[in-house]
Structure 1
Amino acid sequence: MKIGIVGGTGFYNLVDGMKEKNVSTEYGDVVVYEGEHAGKEIYFLPRHGKSHDSLAHQINYRANMMALKKLGADHVLAMCAVGSLNPDIPVGALALLDQFMDVTTKRVSTYDKYSVEITQPYCPDLNATFLKAAEELNLEVTPKANYICVDGPRYETSLEINIYKQWGMDVVGMTNATEAILARELGIAYAVVTMSTDLAAGTTDVPPDLDTHKNVVIDNQDKIKDLFLKTIELATDDKPSIAHEAYERALKARKEKLDKLETTQV
């Protein structure tokens, strides 16, 4: 089983002996780190680049997800830092995403190949595996959270956050919906754990701060690594994910449409 891991720079040494690898795609080159854990091949991909030099709106999302696809990783586990809109998900807390709302307007989030169903954007089997791993490690993880994806790189206004709260959003971030959409278009089973690194604008007197954001991740790095390693250990590919099934339906529907067009044009 091959598993992709997407996250920040702190996972380079997720397991000992990970080797740097360059993957070429039609959308650009991507650096990944290759290793093995629990008898499974793993590929860690730093979403912001090797040196963490790309802001959220600058990330080459299509190249990133395509690189994992080319490596044969049809299951991907991701970690995202987020701002919390929900007092039940405080700073330092972990949550599994259940749904997203995408309000980005300045990025490409499709491969333009076919339409794919994404009613459930995150793989329920991988989410269940994350929860089982958390239980074994005695870690608290909120099992379902709604995520809103914004363009960035600026943080949100107080008014925006208050509206997002009224819409039922739990956490806000700048990267995940784009990854989830592209993963589904590639037939990749995808799940993400979020870590709240701050309380979103307007929910506290303390404004969002990049240094605080980084420090919260660093302080919780060991906890996150343990969760991912245990999840990799427990993960199986004994049945197709809903993502794999949606991908096959999309391919079939597109083929049927193209075949019909070809027939009518003859």
Structure 2
Amino acid sequence: MKIGIVGGTGFYDLVEGMKEITVSTEYGDAVVFEGKHAGKEIYFLPRHGRNHDSLAHEINYRANMKALKKLGINHVIAMCAVGSLNPDIPVGALALLDQFMDVTTTRIKTYGQYSVEITQPYCPDLNQSFLDAAKELGLEITPKANYICVDGPRYETSLEINVYKQWGMDVVGMTNATEAILAREQGLAYAVVTISTDLAAGTTDVPPDLDTHKNVVKDNHQKIRDLFLKTIELVSDEKPSIAHEAYERALAARKEKLEKMAAAKA
């Protein structure tokens, strides 16, 4: 079984001896680190690039998700750093995403080939694997959180955060909705654990700070690493994910059009 892992820079040491490869796609190249754990092939993709040199709005999301698909991966687990709007998800706390709201306006977030159902954007089976892993490790994790995705690279105003809280959002970030949409369009079962690196603007007197953000991730690195390794051990491909089923329905609905597009390219 192949499993993709997407996260910020810093997971190159997830397992020993990971090998760097470059995957070329029609949308550009993506750097991936391959290795093995629990008898499974694993592929870590640093979403911001090898040296974390792309801000959220600069990430080549289409190349990233296409690269995982091209590697023959059908299951992807991811980590995102977020700002918390919910006092029950304090700094350093982990939460599983359940739903997202996308308010980005400046980025390409579709392959533009078909319409795909995304009522449940995150795979419930992968989410359960995360929960089971956390239980085995004795880690606390919020089982369901609502995520709002903003363009960035600026942080949010206090008014924006207060509005998002009224909408029922728990955490805010700049990457995940785009990634989740494209993962679904590629038929990738996808689930995300977030770590709160700060309290969002207007909920505290302490302003968002990149160094603090990095330090929180660094301080929790071992906890996150243990969670991902245990989750990889528990993930199964015995049955199709809702993402795989939605993808097959989307392909079937556009079968004739996609065949014509393929013939035109030949």
TM-score between the two structures when normalised by the length of structure 1: 0.96
What is the aligned-residue identity percentage? 85
* Match of residue 38 from structure 2: 38
Question: For residue 156 of structure 1, what is the aligned residue in structure 2?
Answer: 156
Deviation at 1:257, TM superposition (A): 6.2
Is residue 227 from structure 1 mapped to residue 230 from structure 2 by the alignment? Answer: no
Residue 142, structure 1, aligned to residue 142, structure 2:
yes
Task: For structure 2, list consecutive stretches of 5 or more residues without a partner in the other structure.
Answer: 261-266
AA in 2 matched with 1:204: T
Superposition misfits of 4+ residues, deviation over 6 angstroms? 257-260
Name the aligned partner's letter for residue 255 of structure 1.
K
Q: Secondary structure at the match of 1:66?
A: helix
Q: How does 1:98-117 map to 2 (within 5 A)?
A: 98-117=98-117
- Match of 1:11, SS state, is coil
Structure 2 counterparts to residues 213-224 of structure 1, below 5 A: 213-224=213-224
RMSD: 1.1
Q: Could you say which residue in structure 2 is the equivalent of 1:238?
A: 238
CA–CA separation in structure 2 for the residues paired with 1:241 and 1:182: 16
1:229 CA drift (Å) = 0.2
Letter in 2 for 1:91: V
- Cα distance in 2 between the residues matched to 1:8 and 1:186: 21
1:21 has 2:21 as partner:
yes
SS, match of residue 92 in structure 1: coil
Q: CA deviation at 1:10?
A: 1.1
- Residues of 2 paired with 1:13 and 1:216: CA distance? 18
Equivalent residue, structure 2, for 1:247? 247
The within-5 A match list for 1:1-266 is: 1-255=1-255
Within 1, Cα distance between the matches of 2:44 and 2:89? 26
Distance 2:27 2:94 in 1: 32
1:245 to 1:213, Cα distance in 2 relative to 1, 3 A: same
- Write the distance in 2 (CA, Å) between the matches of 1:255 and 1:14: 39
Secondary structure in 2 aligned to 1:201?
coil
Structure 1, unmatched stretches of 5+, are: 261-266
* Structure-2 change in CA distance of 1:92 and 1:258 (3 Å): closer
Q: Kindly state the Cα deviation for residue 9 of structure 1 after the two structures are TM-superposed.
A: 1.1
- The corresponding residue for 1:263 is none
Look up the equivalent residue of 2:193 and give its one-letter code: V
Distance 1:41 1:202 in 2: 43
String of CA shifts for 1:176-208, please: whole Å, max 9, x gaps.
000000000000000000000000000001010
State the Cα distance separating 1:255 from its structure 2 match.
Answer: 1.4
**Aligned equivalents of 2:231, 2:188: Cα separation in 1:** 17
Q: Give the 3-state SS of the residue equivalent to 1:143 in structure 2.
A: strand
8 Å contact kept, 2:33–2:44: yes
Inter-partner Cα distance in structure 1 for 2:54 and 2:74:
25
Distance in 2 (CA, whole Å) between partners of 1:143 and 1:62 is 28
